[in-house]
Amino acid sequence: MESLADRTAHELSGMLAAGEVSAVELTKDALGVIERTNKALNSFLTVSDVQAMSAAKAVDEARARGEKLGPMAGIPVAVKDVLVTKGVTTTAGSRILEGFVPPYDATAVQRLRQAGAIIVGKTNMDEFAMGSSNENSGFGAVHHPWDLSRVPGGSSGGSAAAVAAGQAVAALGTDTGGSIRLPAAFCGLVAIKPTYGRVSRYGLIAFASSLDQVGPMTRDVTDAATLLEAISGHDPADATSLEDPADFTTGLDRGIKGLRVGIVKELFTEGMEPEVAAAVRRGIDQLVSLGAQVEECSLPSFKYALAAYHVIAPAEASSNLARFDGVRYGLRSPDARDVTEMMMRSREEGFGDEVKRRIMVGTYALSAGYYDAYYDKAQRVRTVVIRELEAAYENFDVLVGPTAPCVAFKLGDRVNDPVAMYLADIATIPMSLAGIPAITVPIGLADGLPVGLQIFGPHFSEAQILRAAFALEQSAGFDSRPRRDFAHSAAPQAKPGQP
């Protein structure tokens, strides 16, 4: 069944401006798709239908008054439930925050609202953004819109499924080690993890402070550039936010003639699925035909990025998640005899296994006697990765590789093997450690499922990687239209999710 929300934001923006369609109609279509498909996908934890319709009406009225509206005005957007939304339940995918209603908005959400975007709801995710498959949610797994028996990727699985199924035109996800790029690659979407500090983290429920970033998940590069621009910019409430200007849409179609591209051979790992590697290579060949100067290069430190990440991220997380103690908000275990028991029981009952694992690994890595060998060492390995990248960028404008070593796997495949699950992020982690911008573009299929090619550049080079992604996208011609043809997929035990 057709829906207006199946189109891209830039297309819709034109239609809205021309009066061919109203924001209310568009939002109604999106909400309709959500209603029909959320049970099967379990992508939304909260649907904000009333607020969305009211916001859509306001946009239409503003347009009728002749107000000048931006490119995101009237566009239905889904927001990952890790960003606080004032007055709307925010859970970070965890039972410890079940029913938590924040009294304030995240800056990125405020900017969306200011841009006139219509927030249709909060999406499901791996608990506290810890996971690569969205099977770690406290509210049930999310299902891949192309094949309900498969994972959409994580931790921004709900956002990815929402865009890929047409429940929203675009979505906000977050990325710490690959959480926006991996699900985008699995679901055939474009997503970008910007330079660290590009988008304010104020209101982003923290997982790993030195790695977390908010980014757009869209069906094409133009939409990604537009949405990223809308949410970027300095925020005095975030001491790590950049002051640099954010213009990502100008010259998007300039082409990549003469662009120096480096293929990082370490990203083509041993355990990688051959079909995926082949698809990525074909994508890289297209870069050549587009006029880029492509060469192989080696960044040996990339082999150690996963190890360093799995010390730094859990360490910071163990501290960031300490605030969930049942005192001021969230789940409080009843009948405790004293406050320590109350805290211990609340956290035991409220956190899932993966979160407990990471909190414990992190606590271990920071503890007396282990700090030097773990946390400090990992931060030094991180410096090695950063320096290698800096050196590489002396010779290359951008670097490329696969986004993921595999296509979307089946639900249940890796849940019992944490390390196997961690390996899904092997190609996305190094960019997170360095804080450099990285984009994933769908460039083909392997075993009938989407494959993403990753392009990453030095700090502040979003415009350049977007330009390269745009050129590749035009050439690859991947069909990004939403799919919700569930009848032909194996039906899973769909969780109740949302009405």
Partner 1 sequence: MLSFDDVVARYEPVIGLETHVELGTQTKMFCGCPTVFGAEPNTQVCPVCLGLPGSLPVTNKAAIEATVRIGLALNCSIASWCRFARKNYFYPDMPKNFQISQYDEPLCSDGYLDVEVDGELFRIGIERVHLEEDTGKSLHVGGATGRIHGATESLVDFNRAGIPLVEIVTKPVPGIGARAPEVAKAYVAELRDVIRTLGVSDVKMEQGSMRCDVNTSLNKLGETWGTRTETKNVNSLRSVERSVRSEMIRQGNILENGGHIIQETRHFHEDTGESTSGRSKETATDYRYFPEPDLVPLAPDATWVKELKAALPELPRVHRARLTAEWGLSALDMQSILNAGAVELIEQTVAQGASPEAARKWWLGELSRHANERGIELGDSGVTPSQVAQLQKLVDEGKLTDKLARQVLEGVLAGEGDPAEVMAARGIEVVSDTGALTVAVDEAIAANPDIAEKIRGGNQAAAGVLIGAVMKTTRGQADAKTVRELVLSRLSN
Partner 2 sequence: MLVTRAEVEHVAELARLALTETEIPYFQQQLSAILTEVEKMQEVPTDDVPPTSQVIPRTNVLRADVIGETLERDDILAIAPAHDGVRYSVPRILGEDE
Q: Which spans of this chain sit near partner 1 (rule: CB under 8 A)?
A: 83-84, 90, 92, 97, 100, 102-104, 106, 201-206, 209-210, 236-240, 315-316, 318-319, 322-325, 327-329, 339-340, 343, 363, 366-368, 371, 375
For partner 2, the closer of residues 281 and 356 by Cβ is 356
For partner 2, the closer of residues 389 and 451 by Cβ is 389
- Residue 106 binds which entry of partner 2, partner 1, none, with Cβ cut-offs from 5 to 8 Å by kind? partner 1
d(CA 299, CA 430): 10
- Nearest distance in Å: CB 196, partner 2: 5
Angle of helix 377-395 relative to helix 305-320, nearest 10 degrees, comes to 130
User: Known catalytic residue: 489?
Assistant: no
- Nearest distance in Å: CB 483, partner 1: 33
For partner 1, the closer of residues 207 and 478 by Cβ is 207
- Nearest distance in Å: CB 403, partner 2: 21
User: Known catalytic residue: 155?
Assistant: yes
Question: Hey, which residues between 283 and 302 contact partner 2 (CB under 8 A)?
Answer: 301
- Nearest distance in Å: CB 343, partner 2: 5
How crowded is residue 277: how many other Cβ atoms within 10 Å of its Cβ?
17
- Nearest distance in Å: CB 48, partner 1: 18
In the set 3, 155, 200, 318, the catalytic residue is 155
- Residue 14 binds which entry of partner 1, partner 2, none, with Cβ cut-offs from 5 to 8 Å by kind? none
Question: Hey, which residues between 197 and 236 contact partner 2 (CB under 8 A)?
Answer: 197, 210, 236
Determine which residue in the list 21, 58, 384, 392 makes contact with partner 2, applying CB under 8 A: 384
Per CB under 8 A, 442 contacts partner 2 = no
- Residue 202 binds which entry of partner 1, partner 2, none, with Cβ cut-offs from 5 to 8 Å by kind? partner 1
Per CB under 8 A, 130 contacts partner 2 = no
For partner 1, the closer of residues 90 and 428 by Cβ is 90
In the set 3, 179, 200, 461, the catalytic residue is 179
Which single residue is written with the structure tokens 């990471």? 358
Query: Dihedral, CA atoms, 187, 82, 199, 152, nearest 10 degrees?
Result: -10
- Determine the size of the site formed for partner 2 (CB under 8 A): 71
User: Known catalytic residue: 122?
Assistant: no
Per CB under 8 A, 310 contacts partner 2 = yes
- Residue 341 binds which entry of partner 2, partner 1, none, with Cβ cut-offs from 5 to 8 Å by kind? partner 2
Determine which residue in the list 344, 415, 445, 446 makes contact with partner 2, applying CB under 8 A: 344
- Residue 359 binds which entry of partner 2, partner 1, none, with Cβ cut-offs from 5 to 8 Å by kind? partner 2
Active site residues: 80, 155, 179
